[in-house]
Structure 1
Amino acid sequence: MDEQKWTRVSARTVYEGRMTIREHSVQLPDSTPGRYEVDESVPYGAAVLIRDGGDILLSRQYRFPVDGWIHDLPGGAGEDGEQPAEAARREAVEELGIVVGDLTPLQTFYPNPGRSAWPVHLFFAEAAGTLAPKADDPFEQVRCLRIPIADLASLVDRGEIVDPSLLIAWHTATTRGLLAP
């Protein structure tokens, strides 16, 4: 099977705000020139699925693009020079005030490989303590939610979980036996 790649000719930033969109000039394998916009907002995302006894600790946040409050994982963008596991730990404290123990890597995926260039690194951890959350972004109004593991499975089955990071983390942790009640 012939799997030829596109050639990147040049790139320029076309929008920079809460997101960074870059337009790439490309050449297709048949020499056709083109342009392609890519979300290059962050180096990566990191999130952690946290178990505390028989419960899962989730964040509940209002998400403007879908105009609703959703269940998701504490997580966010990695910072320059920060490793994904460090970012996952930082986000658990910032968003939920939860200190986590050892992190188990679950999965790395691209949320929209057709339009974004950054991966999301997912981890599993046990809750190890609490601190006061450090909410310093007025756009992030986050609530900590404690859900029994069996209830999370029901939410998934009813289609009430829409966040891909949470779905992938839940599925992977369940498959590996990390969420056995």
Structure 2
Amino acid sequence: MTLVLNENREALLMYRHRFIIDKWVWELPGGYVDDAEDVAAAAAREVEEETGWRPRSMEHLVTYQPAVGSLDHPQEIYIARGADLTGRLPDINEAEAIRWISLHEAAAMIDRGEIIGAATVVAIYRALSLGA
């Protein structure tokens, strides 16, 4: 997943329905790494495919284990500073809406239960702790 920040410290978030929990939530763009693909390149590709924005830079933000008691599945989160709109429309199946939301508002959305995905929660709090 990638936390894309613009010059106003706003994060690029997607509003999407998650069928497993049957809820609409806000989260970061992200996805899977293709065979032999560089992880940072995959993260940037997923941002562009899901949002129509191309990150200007990619930097590792944090790696975490979401469920160390039941599986070994490290999750990597990148931070991108700045992005350019490509003009390419994102896949309609990816998100209902895409918005730039301030980090402080995103933290309030976590408190209200609008952001619940572990990677997005970790990224927002990590960025705020670093003063990103």
Do both share a fold (TM > 0.5)?
A: yes
Contact 1:106 / 1:169 at 8 angstroms: preserved in 2? yes
Alpha-carbon RMSD: 1.9
Bigger strand fraction: 1
Percentage of pairs with the same residue:
30
Alignment counterpart, residue 106 of structure 2, candidates 130, 152, 163: 152
Q: What is the CA distance between 1:113 and its match in structure 2?
A: 3.0
Contact 1:98 / 1:127 at 8 angstroms: preserved in 2? no
Q: What is the letter of the counterpart of residue 107 of structure 1?
A: V
CA distance in structure 1 between the aligned counterparts of 2:105 and 2:95, rounded to whole angstroms: 23
Alignment counterpart, residue 123 of structure 1, candidates 69, 74, 78: 78
CA distance in structure 1 between the aligned counterparts of 2:38 and 2:25, rounded to whole angstroms: 27
Query: Which ranges of structure 2 fall in alignment gaps of 5 or more residues?
Result: none
TM-score between both structures, scaled by the size of structure 1: 0.65
Q: Which has the higher contact order (CA 8 A, sep 6+)?
A: 2
CA distance in structure 1 between the aligned counterparts of 2:32 and 2:69, rounded to whole angstroms: 19
* DSSP 3-state at the match of 1:102: coil
CA distance in structure 1 between the aligned counterparts of 2:96 and 2:48, rounded to whole angstroms: 12
Greater radius of gyration (CA): 1
Deviation digits for residues 121-161 of structure 1 (CA, Å, limit 9, x no counterpart)? 1011122201214528x5x3453122123211211233332
CA distance in structure 1 between the aligned counterparts of 2:90 and 2:102, rounded to whole angstroms: 25
Contact 2:60 / 2:78 at 8 angstroms: preserved in 1? yes
Query: Which ranges of structure 1 fall in alignment gaps of 5 or more residues?
Result: 1-46
Contact 2:28 / 2:120 at 8 angstroms: preserved in 1? yes
Deviation digits for residues 93-139 of structure 1 (CA, Å, limit 9, x no counterpart)? 00001111221211112222344443211011122201214528x5x
Bigger helix fraction: 2
Contact 2:6 / 2:81 at 8 angstroms: preserved in 1? yes
CA distance in structure 2 between the aligned counterparts of 1:82 and 1:142, rounded to whole angstroms: 28
TM-score between both structures, scaled by the size of structure 2: 0.87
Does residue 57 of structure 1 match 2:12?
yes
